[in-house]
């Protein structure tokens, strides 16, 4: 199994919409993530991420086929030496260690591309799989903030994990 990161293309649109339109994925994403995830959302997303320079968002590919997405988002102002990581993976590929192989590639790219010292990720308290993948990739739990996230009508804990250069 080869896991790579690459730019999203319009040829990926059907896979993006098929995999991205999943309430189980949306449940662990920020509210800006569309649910349902429509074809128009996919077109807008691919156009937006392909305007980035340098590239910040990538398709996670298993054996050349897109199965998820990941991104790195540099901070500004007093957080200018930090960047936030985000990701999602299509449900049929959960539990295969794919994101744990993709994140180190993204970290390497981020440190080569930006003058940052810290990469952090936020996981919902209910998203044990995301917490585990961050830990597996060497991220350390820096803080747990009780009931700071309001998602789908309920308060959830926010966990912040980070790795440093």
| Mean pLDDT to the nearest integer, 40-50 | 98
**Quick one: pLDDT at residue 129?**
95
Q: What's the mean pLDDT when you consider all of the chain? A: 97
**Do residues 123 and 130 touch, judged by C-beta distance below 8 A?**
yes
Domains of the chain listed by start with CATH number = 3-164 (3.40.630.30)
Confidence of residue 34 (pLDDT cuts 50, 70, 90): very high
- Angle, vertex CA 149, rays to CA 146 and CA 151, nearest 5: 135
DSSP state of 79: G
158: CB partners within 8 A, 6+ apart: 122, 123, 124, 125, 144, 145, 148, 149
Taking 3-state DSSP, the helix, strand and coil percentages for the chain, each rounded to the nearest 5, stand at 35, 35, 30
List 87's β-bridge partners, or say none.
70
Using CB atoms within 10 Å of the CB of residue 127, give its burial: 0 to 12 exposed, 13 to 18 middle, 19+ buried.
Answer: middle
pLDDT of residue 116: 98
Write down the pTM of the prediction: 0.95
Instruction: Give pLDDT, residue 111.
Output: 98
Token pair for residue 22? 């999943």
Buried b (16+ CB within 10 A) or exposed e, 1-39: eebebeebeeebbebbbebbbbeebbebbeeebbbebee
């Amino acid at each position: 199994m080869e896991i790579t990161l690459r730019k999203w293309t319009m040829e990926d649109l059907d896979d993006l919409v098929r995999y991205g339109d999943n309430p189980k994925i949306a449940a662990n994403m920020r509210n800006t993530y569309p649910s349902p995830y429509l074809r128009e959302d996919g077109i807008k997303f691919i156009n937006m991420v392909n305007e980035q320079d340098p590239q910040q968002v990538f398709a996670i590919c298993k054996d050349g086929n897109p199965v998820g997405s990941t991104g790195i988002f540099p901070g500004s102002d007093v957080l200018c030496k930090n960047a936030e990581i985000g990701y999602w993976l299509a449900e049929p590929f959960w539990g295969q260690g794919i994101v744990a192989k993709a994140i180190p590639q993204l970290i390497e790219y981020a440190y080569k591309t930006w003058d940052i010292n810290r990469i952090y990720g936020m996981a919902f308290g209910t998203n044990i799989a995301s917490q585990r993948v961050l830990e597996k990739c060497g991220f350390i739990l820096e803080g747990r903030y009780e009931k700071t996230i309001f998602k789908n009508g309920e308060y959830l804990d926010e966990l912040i994990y980070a790795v440093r250069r």
